[in-house]
Amino acid sequence: MSSPFRPSGIFSAQWLPTDSGGALDRASLAAHISFERRAGISGVLALGSTGEFPHFTVEERKRALATVAEIAAPLPVIVNVTDIRPRAAIELGRFAKSLGLPAIALMPPVFFPVSQADMLAYFLHVAEAVDLPVMLYNFPELTGKRIDLPTVAAFAERAPMCAIKQSGGEFAYHRELIALGREKNFAVMSGSDTRLPEVFALGASGCIGGLVNLVPELMVAIDRVHRLGLPGDAAAAAAAMRDLGRIIDQLTFPLNVAAGLEARGFAPGAPKSIVSPESRVLYTKIVGELMALYRHHQLALATPAAA
């Protein structure tokens, strides 16, 4: 089934800064989203993997979503409602609908093994109950489950599928998904932040990435040249993205995104997970390396006035 909403362009897989008690830091979030908007992003994914959604209760996710939607408006906000409990996913999806948001995202339910048939049944059950366009969200390295191509095709035939977000190490899967998207009329949004020229050469509709939080202007520049075909040279931006990837991959995700935010001058908030002394040392090292990278590529650090 086709959907009237089709995401495209550069979407931020939005970071959510919280204090030591887990409360959302609205001021820091607002400053950061304002920075991304000025860079020209096309939309936001709320409560995705970069948003560290498993750390929040359903009520906390609702409050965070309402805040993101308010601050980001009028940009489209897609919300990841994934939960091992279908009723929780439906509750979040219906809340998103009440806010007037255009779509929800669904990953496979985590922890327990699930067949492709049962995964499809989960997706269809939530989609029918929520009654919003759906972006499937494939990230096997985090969920432990791959959404196979026949499952994507079956879902697209029976539900209002607007897109799939392809994340993780299986870059070649973009080709099959993009071909299927052309057949079934859905978009493919990539999570391969550091390989955008390749992604757009394959025909992807855009990118939803964690690194958009750090360098939105680079990713928007690459999008304009390589996807939209506008005049310009994005070679320097693409090289900067590769350099950024090599540095940030030294530290585990999503703590590395926090390091990148701090290096850019933003307040990433308190860690939501326990961080070892070893990781704290590495975090400090990466912040320094990224600050040097930003200076080298003439990326201005955020200041209270600029934010």
pLDDT tens sequence across 120-138: 999 999 999 999 999 999 9
CA distance 200 to 204: 5
Tokens 């006035």 appear where?
305
**All structural domains of the chain with their residue ranges:** 9-232
Whole-structure pTM value: 0.96
Q: What residues does 189 pair with on adjacent strands?
A: 165, 206
Please, is 4 exposed, middle or buried when counting C-beta atoms within 10 Å of its C-beta (0-12, 13-18, 19+)?
A: exposed
CATH topology of domain 9-232: TIM Barrel (3.20.20)
Contact 39, 248 (CB under 8 A): no
- 251-299 confidence digits (pLDDT tens): 999 999 999 999 999 999 999 999 999 999 999 999 999 999 999 999 9
Asked whether the predicted pLDDT for residue 150 surpasses 90, the reply is yes
Contact 93, 129 (CB under 8 A): yes
CA distance 225 to 118: 41
Mean pLDDT across the chain:
96
- Residue 129: CB atoms within 10 A of its CB come to 15
